């Protein structure tokens, strides 16, 4: 007997005619979601995104599947307590998600950063629309396991940091020469 398993939300790209086999959720974003959420400390036991694009895809899938905890935990740690989990959850629920297109992935931007340009599609009564965004990501050490991880840099969070202060990502560089250049 075969059961049909769900395709990963990040594998649906309405702008492409490519019919190559899309990955199932269990073989795509699920190990990352489970790995980050199924443990108490900040330590990550399961799969950990090894690139900004991989992290971007798992964050998109977390929006579609309404896993706001994953969105919070993959944002830069110093920004996490400034996020509104309720607002993220309602926005994720109210949006009729329709797919993801990765437009470009700049894997190396300076020493610690990467950028992903993407379109997140959603349905509206007027038809298909997309959030077209350029997101910045930073690779920084996780205090719990002293292992470097990629994090999303949220440009909408206002932080009281001056250009000359040490960066919010913990790189030890001045903010303006580090994450300040991207948010
Ligand atoms: Zn996926
Ligand atoms: Zn930084």
Q: What residue segments make up the domains of the chain, in order of their start?
A: 9-157
Asked if 32 and 53 touch (Cβ cutoff 8 Å), the reply is no
Q: In sequence order, what are the residues at sequence separation of 6 or more whose Cβ sits closer than 8 angstroms to the Cβ of residue 72? A: 80, 83, 85, 88
* Cα 135 to middle of ligand 1, angstroms: 18
Residue 152: per-residue pLDDT: 97
List Cα–Cα distances, 108 to 27, 38, 103, 168, in angstroms.
26, 30, 16, 19
Rounded-to-integer distance, Cα 77 and Cα 57, Å? 19
Which residues 6+ apart lie within 8 Å of 3 measured at CB?
A: none
State the distance from the centre of ligand 2 to the C-alpha of 95, rounded, in angstroms. Answer: 31
Ligand in closest contact with the CA of 79: 2
Q: What is the pLDDT of residues 118-157, one digit of tens each?
A: 999 999 999 999 999 999 999 997 666 667 899 999 999 8
Question: Tell me, what's the pLDDT at 36?
Answer: 86
Ligand closest to Cα of 140 equals 2
Q: Stretch 22-48: mean pLDDT, rounded? A: 80
**% of the chain beyond a pLDDT of 70:** 91
- Ligand 1 centre from 61 Cα, in Å? 6
Span from the CA of 26 to the centroid of ligand 2 (angstroms): 33
Task: Quote the DSSP letter at residue 173.
Answer: S
Coil, strand or helix at 115: strand
Instruction: Decide if pLDDT at 43 tops 60.
Output: no
- Residue 133: how many CB atoms within 10 A of its CB? 13
The more confident residue out of 160 and 106 is 106
Q: Domain 9-157 - what CATH class?
A: alpha beta
Contact 153, 179 (CB under 8 A): yes
Give the ligand at the shortest distance from the Cα of 33. 1
Closest ligand relative to 113 C-alpha: 2
Q: Inform me whether the pLDDT recorded for 46 exceeds 70.
A: no
What was the pLDDT predicted at 74? 96
Tell me how far the alpha carbon of residue 41 lies from the centroid of ligand 2, in angstroms: 23
Helix axes 52-64, 30-37, angle to 10 degrees: 80
Beta carbons within 10 angstroms of residue 155's beta carbon: 14
Which tokens in the block code for residue 94? 């109210």
Question: What is the distance in A from the centroid of ligand 1 to the CA of 108?
Answer: 22
What are 61-100's pLDDT values in tens digits? 999 999 999 999 999 999 999 999 999 999 999 999 999 9
Task: Give yes or no for residue 24 having a pLDDT over 90.
Answer: yes
Ligand nearest to the CA of 109: 2
Ligand nearest to the CA of 57: 1
**38 confidence band (pLDDT: 50, 70, 90):** confident
Give the C-alpha distances (Å, rounded to integers) separating 138 from 97, 103, 181: 26, 19, 12
């Amino acid at each position: 007997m075969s059961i049909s398993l769900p395709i990963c939300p990040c594998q649906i790209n309405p702008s492409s005619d490519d019919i190559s086999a899309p990955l199932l959720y269990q073989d795509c974003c699920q190990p990352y979601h489970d790995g980050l959420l199924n443990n108490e400390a900040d330590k990550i036991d399961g799969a950990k995104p090894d690139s900004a694009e991989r992290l971007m895809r798992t964050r998109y899938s977390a929006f579609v599947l309404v896993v706001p905890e994953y969105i919070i935990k993959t944002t830069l740690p110093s920004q996490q307590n400034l996020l509104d989990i309720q607002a993220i959850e309602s926005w994720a629920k109210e949006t009729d998600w329709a797919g993801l297109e990765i437009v470009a992935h700049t894997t190396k931007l300076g020493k610690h950063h990467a950028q992903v340009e993407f379109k997140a599609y959603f349905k509206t009564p007027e038809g298909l629309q997309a959030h077209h965004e350029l997101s910045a990501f930073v690779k920084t050490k996780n205090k719990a396991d002293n292992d470097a991880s990629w994090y999303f840099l949220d440009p909408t969070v206002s932080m009281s940091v001056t250009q000359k202060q040490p960066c919010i990502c913990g790189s030890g560089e001045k903010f303006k020469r580090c994450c300040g250049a991207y948010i």
